[in-house]
Amino acid sequence: MVLQLYNTLTRKKELFKEIKKGKVTYYFCGPTPYNYVHLGNLRAYIFADLLRRYLKYKGYQVFEVMNFTDVDDKTIKNAKAAKQSLQVYTQKFIDAFIEDFKLLNIELPEKLIKATDHIPEMIDLIKKLEKNGLAYKSEDGSIYFSIKKFKNYGKLALLEKTKLRQNADGRMKNDEYEKEDAKDFALWKAYHKDDGNVFWETKYGKGRPGWHIECSAMSTKYLGDTFDIHGGGVDLIFPHHTNEIAQSEGATNKKFVNYWVHNAHLIVNGEKMSKSKRNFFTLRDLIKKGDDPKAIRYELLSTHYRAQLDFREENLKNLKETLQKFNDFLLMLDDCIEKQKKKKYETNNVVDHLIRDAKEAFENAMDNDLNISEALAAVFTFMHDVNKIKNDLHAFDADKIKTEMQNFDSVLGIMDYERGAIDQKIETKIQERERARKKKDFKKADLIRNELLKQGIILEDTADGARWKKA
């Protein structure tokens, strides 16, 4: 089956066809590092991750670029208030963002880049726009993009130009009188004293880039004039992505992006989570309260990306139990691999069928614009069916099933099957405890049990010796 993705550009699900066979060029708008990102932002990056992981599952070689908007009004203002350089101030939040990625098991993009490292590329792009007659200089020295000169302006957001101008008239009268047209946007902002020591000396004078030019310049630098997929939250459709298209296509006269993908918002109490509404919390806030990052990942992941996600912290506890089901299942398989390997092997068609059906159901669901709930249902059905025949499983089959679970998890990123490294340490401790028990040193045995418990390992004494699982 071929992957179908909902393309915002056409408002339709479309078969995905890459530009270069087997390769996907992919850009996802990154955060503005003026503060810690909130859970709404992280929903966007979980979606970005799910898409890249599924593309990889399908065998594509993914090259993903994500940016940090590390220069804008907010970063400048906050750095100034903190009496830090822009670079030092934003780096702290960039580092925190990468930590959040690791905690949520989000794969890092192939390129994670800062806008401030790409000023020359932005200037080059503005030069091209100027050459094509799409940019003009305002009285204060800023450079604007002229939307009336770009014929397809607003296609992504389904905007009509006249309406746009009317809507923007209010703003025209106030702060944006430098522009010829209310909706023209800044490519380059002339220096203002509020910018303090944040400026670049360029062909266009002293100043700093506009927000939209950053993403146009950075995406095309690494992915080419035309690339496969560009994503972000729905709030970016207009004006950000609309303006990116105008700039990039205005400069190259080529199609900028083939597939535009946008995630719906995460909401709390019926409202979009956002910094300005002060209804936000960060990953740190939740982890401090003892919430489990994998359960948070699961909650962010398990609603379809184009549906609003009503985030409820109280769900996390149940989700943790759901995750435990995956892990118990994997432990059962490990046990079977360990204990049934000497059993004579007879081909088990049932297992092969179950695997084939599960795989097919999972892929059909994910191919349908990443239908995550059906994909998860396929995995649950698989586990349920395997559990029914678990006593007849041979190690060889258990191993096959485990491999399939790992394949599913390469997309989901929610299971704990990599026991190898921790296994060794835990096994050593368990043997030490067994020795203590044999010597009737129950004090020491309990001490070891508690020590393991503190590391989140629960011991169960069975007839075959001690078994462990994660708490």
By the criterion CB under 5 A, which residues form the site for Zn ion?
29, 215
| CA distance linking residue 55 with residue 47, whole number of Å | 12
Lookup: tokens for 361? 């159901």
Determine, following the binding rule CB under 6 A, whether residue 209 of this chain makes contact with ligand AMP.
Answer: no
9 binds ligand AMP (CB under 6 A): no
Apex 350 CA angle, 347 and 355, nearest 5: 105
239's contact among Zn ion, ligand AMP, none, with CB below 5 to 8 A by partner kind, is none
- Interface with ligand AMP (CB under 6 A), residue total 17
Q: Tell me phi and psi for residue 109, to 5 degrees.
A: -60, 160
Stretch that binds ligand AMP, among 25-33, 295-303, 402-410, 431-439 (CB under 6 A): 25-33
131 Cβ contact partners less than 8 Å away, ≥ 6 residues apart: none
Show the binding pattern over residues 43-72: x = contacts ligand AMP (CB under 6 A), - = does not. Answer: xx----------------------------
Q: Are strands 23-28 and 227-233 parallel, antiparallel or unpaired?
A: parallel
Cβ proximity to Zn ion, 207 vs 232, nearer residue: 232
Q: Which stretch binds ligand AMP (CB under 6 A): 129-137, 155-163, 232-240, 333-341?
A: 232-240
Name beta bridge partners: 65: 27, 111
Q: How far is the CB of 176 from Zn ion (least distance, A)?
A: 21
Q: Which of 405, 409, 388 is nearest to 334 (CA)?
A: 405
Which one, 78 or 219, has the nearer CB to Zn ion? 219
Q: Cβ of residue 233: shortest distance to ligand AMP, in angstroms? A: 2
- Between CA 411 and CA 430 the distance in angstroms is 33
Cβ distance to ligand AMP smaller for residue 266 or 336: 266
Position 187 contacts ligand AMP (CB under 6 A): no
Closest alpha carbon to 63 in 229, 294, 289: 229
Work out whether 215 is an interface residue with ligand AMP (CB under 6 A): no
Among Zn ion, ligand AMP, none, the one that 32 touches (CB under a kind-dependent 5 to 8 A) is ligand AMP
CB distance 303 to 372 below 8 Å: yes
Binding mask 257-296 for ligand AMP (x = CB under 6 A): ------x-xx-----xxx----------------------
- CB nearer Zn ion, residue 115 or residue 401: 115
Backbone angles phi, psi at 154, to 5 degrees: 90, 5
* Beta carbons of 50 and 376 less than 8 angstroms apart: no
How many angstroms separate the CA atoms of 76 and 184, rounded?
A: 23
Contacts to ligand AMP by CB under 6 A: 29, 31-32, 40-41, 43-44, 232-233, 235-236, 263, 265-266, 272-274
